[in-house]
Chains A and B, each alone.
Chain A
Amino acid sequence: MSSRKRRRFSRDLQCVSFPDDASGHGVQGERREPPSLSSVSSAKSWDKCGDSFLDSPGIENLKSSGRKLSTIRKLAQKNPALVQTNAGHCIEDPVHIAWSSTDGEQSDDETQKQPPPQRPGRSMAPVRSYTRELCMLSTNKDDLPAIDTDSDLAESEDHVEKDSRQQISDCESESLVQQPPDLLPKPTNLTELEISGYMSDGESIGDSMTPSRLDSESFSLQTGEGSRRSVGDWVRSAQAMLQTPQKQLDQQSKTPEDSAKKRRKFQSGGLAERLNRLQCRQRSAISFWRHQSTSDTSTTTVDRPGVLVLDVLEVKEDCSMQLVHCAHQRPPGEGPHHSDPVSEERARVLVLFNRETAAQLIPAAGDIVHIYPPWQSLSTEGFSSDIILNTHFSQKVVPDCKPADTSVPRGLLSAGRCMPYYLGKIFGLLEVHRTTEENDAKVAVPDPLCSFEGPGEFPGQCLSLLEAVERLGQAGSVGQDVEVVVQRVFSIPLPDCSSWSSLKPRVPSRPSSAPPPAEQGKTRLCVLVQDSYDMFSMVQLHLLPCKDDILQYCQRWQGKTCVLRGIKVVQRVTRERRTRLFSLIDSLWPPVIPLKDHENTPNVSKESRPAGPALSFCYLLSDIVQSEMKSCRCSFFAKVLHKRVQSSDVGQGEVWLVLTDPSLQEEQPERPCKRTVALCVSTSCVLTSSVLEALRSPAACGLTFRDAITEHGVLLCAEQSVIEVCHDEPEGSLQSTTRQALLSQLLTEPQVQTLPQPVRLDPLTLDATPNSLCTLSGVIVGVDENTAYSWPACNYCGSDNLEVLPERPQNFYCESCKSAVEKPETKIQLEVFLTSASASNCTLKLKLQKRTIMSLLNTAALEGNEFPGYDVENVLGKEVGPLTAYIRVVTNKPAPWIGLEEICL
């Protein structure tokens, strides 16, 4: 496969996506990138916009545009942002860039006469008081008190909003007051330098900018000499405004909320700092644009690229924003015709206006709205139309044919409000998900389930996996989305970099030299999915960077209806080839919900379909053991009584576990059952770190086993099985209630008992199975002298790698833990042959523990470091037990023989 092709392949695979809250996390199509958020011009536009006011010579063309009083007020509010922008960025963005939305307004050669401005000249004090007045106006609104979350930035936005309303009312009353430039005093050279572009006809505003900002935000900078300051001063003070936190404010004692409100310093280089900067630019761009556009509302034709011309269809209010359903207007030139019925073919968009813009626009059905770039378009799953964000540069166009006075009562038209959204559903991101770029998919199409005919053609989404797969033939990806239910989520180890899909069935107990899954870096996420025709497929998804991630995917996807997108067929497997996989599928068969009548409901929408059956999780162990099925899957919770690790560490090789659960420990079980069950964790079962930790710990632990395989009377966890840790330390009442809740969740039996102490074990019988536990008593009939020995061991680390110190022969030096061992522990091993009444005619060989050996030998303590030796005659005929033993080997040939090892639970 060429690298190019492979890349395409992986992209296809990333497109598997899921419609619910899980949708797309980690597996969403790459083709949505750069995400669903596309902006007509990226945020760089903001830089450009902001800078263009300051530096672009083109802006000077605008100087003749008329100004209304209210506009000036607004500018007075907005200017500081501009000043900040300039201070912060004029150096790095020196190039002027013509702003796209201004060229339409460049021909404003209005010559309206303007009365003198209310703000006289450049005297500072009146200006400041005026600003204060504005503030009072703003705070006077019969609004509920502001809450801490809105910083002063928010407040200033409120001002803007109020102000823009004011502006609208001015505008609509047609009593526009224009301000001739020559009536205003000359600007200072500084202001001219920086703000000349839009200040050309109202220069004194430039002076008032800074004070108004400072005033409203309680900055303590001295502003009185603003007009006399040099450029350097100006920039410095502007930078100070940008960056200097108000420490005095922080130090004041106040409520936590207050201090949060006043905290202005953002972490240098942080996201907040960046947004703050962007926001300042944006704000100045908006105010400038609005200032420009107010005199331009009668323009009805737009021939500039990037401008959305929309017919408003419906307006709703949603969380203080306005959500407007719109349709694209016909191509420019055709002109708006409001009498036309809204054509269904026209593309719909959803437009969001923030409170500020909405207050200015007051959109209503039938309006025509122009949205100028930079707007952003977001495509969201679940919404067929794009959503337009960042609609600050929006303008309502008064059409020629529309009588002007119809717009007067607009303020009374209140948009219908959306219901508050449901707080009980989170946005589905509160779990961390990481995915790798190396995606892969595998659709294995099992044979025997395809006993039905494919349905008819469904446009768009497909309900039948089989149909989608067969339609594409042998090559290529499945073009259609297929709706499926995720029945199981599991991970599989990657044997090596080659394809996972080996044709050979995996043997349950691989040699321990096989690559250890726990230590291997990579595991692959897989899901077993079922479509509504009950066709199963296994979909191989991306690699998991961390094995523990599987739990989150389980929680997220299992039992959910999802959409498979961009899948590709890797292999078609049959029952004979993949018995294990089919044992899992069989465990889900027959389906809980009967086959749907697809004939009558050909176009079931995603929303109206119920989620697939969730995992019915638990069986009891006793049921499993008595099951007649040769190979089946089962899920259960059990307590691990004993662990046998093949190699030095858990996870390196296969692990045998001896399990029990309360149902197996009942005093008088309803049916005869084994008290313990053996389970083998194969190396193909991926163990999460918490499971490894639990298995390494000597303490008994509770584990949940999902989709374990029962084969030949033995439980096996292999590929597709998932083990999780149950935390059930019975400490304190709280924990025990938690435990009860947890257990009752996991066990199908309503009554949950705790395990008896000590746990009950089966007495040793002839039908004992290997890797299980039993109780045993018997009489010693022989001693295996070949295995009887003792040796000194380090009493710190248990290692027998000791060296005699030459100077003090009684002392040792441990090579393993590099320490001197004064009194080494003496280890002792003895294996004896027993006869037992419960297993007569069977040779029992039992490896004894030291404690038992000592009691057998009647030795209170080992003398020195030397095992005193023993007399075989003294041991023979002695009774041992009852003791607990682990059954290592059971053979019947040539004669019944059971090898056991005494253990301590």
Chain B
Amino acid sequence: MSSLLPAVAEQLFRDIQRTYRDTSHIPDDLLIALKFVFGPCALQALDLVDQRSVTCLSSPSGRKAFQVIGASGRLYTCFVSCHYCPCPAFAYTVLRRNEGLLCKHILAAYLCQAMGVTQQESVSDQQMSMLLSGTAAP
């Protein structure tokens, strides 16, 4: 039995995207479903969405990355091409214990994208490479 949860998550994002696009509203069912699938991280991710904490950085080279301002103001750089976040919850809940699909930061990035509320920002190629290689100052 292959893992079902990613497909469920993906479908939820799609539903949110479509509903939000059509109505600029996310119905309660979808919020409840998010909470069911993602657990407590859903609430925090939605809070990040409310705060518009997700920024999509793009560089002239065409590379992109997401930057999420955590509740504390710390910046987390999440990748576009794979699921990774430097936050401890990701390392612990997702990587180590396989107890969650995503951390709240990546979830927030998905939700912001689905709702089209991701902030956009351009950075230089050099900044981007430093961000992606983890050598940038946080």
Chain A residue at smallest Cβ distance from B105:
A149
Partner of B60, one of A380, A387, A729: A729
Give the chain A neighbours of B28 by CB distance below 8 A: 42-44, 46, 274, 278
Pair A387/B8 contact, Cβ less than 8 Å: yes
Scan residues 110-138 of chain B and give those whose CB is less than 8 A from a CB of chain A.
110, 113-114, 116, 118, 125-126, 129
- A35-B15, A42-B28, A427-B6 as given contacts; A432 in contact with B40, CB under 8 Å: no
Give the chain A neighbours of B17 by CB distance below 8 A: 25, 429, 433
Total A-B residue contacts, Cβ distance less than 8 Å: 255
Give the chain A neighbours of B35 by CB distance below 8 A: 275, 278-279, 282
Asked if B24 CB lies within 8 Å of chain A CBs, one says no
What are the interface flags for B33-48 relative to A under an 8 Å C-beta threshold, 1 for contact and 0 otherwise?
A: 1111101111110110
Pair A418/B3 contact, Cβ less than 8 Å: yes
What are the interface flags for A708-736 relative to B under an 8 Å C-beta threshold, 1 for contact and 0 otherwise?
A: 00000000000000000001010010110
Scan residues 84-123 of chain B and give those whose CB is less than 8 A from a CB of chain A.
84, 87-89, 92-94, 97-101, 103-104, 109-110, 113-114, 116, 118
Pair B11/A260 contact, Cβ less than 8 Å: no
Give the chain B neighbours of A21 by CB distance below 8 A: 10
Q: How large is the interface on B (under 10, 10 to 19, 20 to 34, 35 or more residues)?
A: 35 or more
Give the chain B neighbours of A42 by CB distance below 8 A: 27-29
B interface residues, Cβ below 8 angstroms from A: 1-15, 17-19, 21-22, 26-37, 39-44, 46-47, 49-51, 60-62, 66, 70-74, 80-84, 87-89, 92-94, 97-101, 103-104, 109-110, 113-114, 116, 118, 125-126, 129
Pair A389/B37 contact, Cβ less than 8 Å: yes
Pair A419/B3 contact, Cβ less than 8 Å: yes
25 CB-based A-B contacts, threshold 8 Å:
A25-B17, A35-B30, A36-B15, A149-B41, A151-B43, A154-B39, A157-B39, A270-B47, A272-B44, A272-B46, A278-B31, A319-B101, A350-B4, A378-B12, A418-B4, A421-B6, A424-B81, A427-B9, A427-B13, A429-B110, A429-B114, A432-B116, A734-B126, A735-B60, A742-B61
Asked if A28 CB lies within 8 Å of chain B CBs, one says yes
- A33-B18, A149-B44, A256-B74 as given contacts; A267 in contact with B50, CB under 8 Å: yes
- A319-B100, A425-B82, A734-B125 as given contacts; A380 in contact with B31, CB under 8 Å: no
Pair A352/B36 contact, Cβ less than 8 Å: yes
Complex Cα gap A734–B73 (Å): 30
Pair B74/A319 contact, Cβ less than 8 Å: no
Asked if A588 CB lies within 8 Å of chain B CBs, one says no
Asked if A304 CB lies within 8 Å of chain B CBs, one says no
Pair B32/A148 contact, Cβ less than 8 Å: no
Chain A residue at smallest Cβ distance from B72:
A256
What total of chain A residues lie within 8 Å of the partner, measured CB to CB? 90
Pair A323/B15 contact, Cβ less than 8 Å: no
Pair A727/B61 contact, Cβ less than 8 Å: yes
What are the interface flags for A400-427 relative to B under an 8 Å C-beta threshold, 1 for contact and 0 otherwise?
A: 0000000000000000011111011111
Pair A267/B51 contact, Cβ less than 8 Å: yes
Give the chain A neighbours of B60 by CB distance below 8 A: 727, 729, 735, 738
Pair A272/B47 contact, Cβ less than 8 Å: yes
Scan residues 576-627 of chain A and give those whose CB is less than 8 A from a CB of chain B.
none
Complex Cα gap A273–B92 (Å): 26
- A43-B29, A149-B44, A738-B61 as given contacts; A272 in contact with B50, CB under 8 Å: yes
Complex Cα gap A260–B75 (Å): 13
Complex Cα gap A72–B29 (Å): 30
Give the 7 A-B residue pairs with the shortest CB-CB distance, closest first.
Answer: A43-B28, A256-B72, A149-B89, A35-B15, A270-B50, A260-B71, A154-B40
Give the chain A neighbours of B30 by CB distance below 8 A: 35, 37
Pair B103/A149 contact, Cβ less than 8 Å: yes
Asked if A153 CB lies within 8 Å of chain B CBs, one says yes
Pair A423/B82 contact, Cβ less than 8 Å: yes
Give the chain B neighbours of A537 by CB distance below 8 A: none
Pair B14/A259 contact, Cβ less than 8 Å: no
Rounded to whole Å, the gap between the CB of A630 and the closest CB of chain B is 35
Give the chain A neighbours of B113 by CB distance below 8 A: 429-432
Chain A residue at smallest Cβ distance from B112:
A432
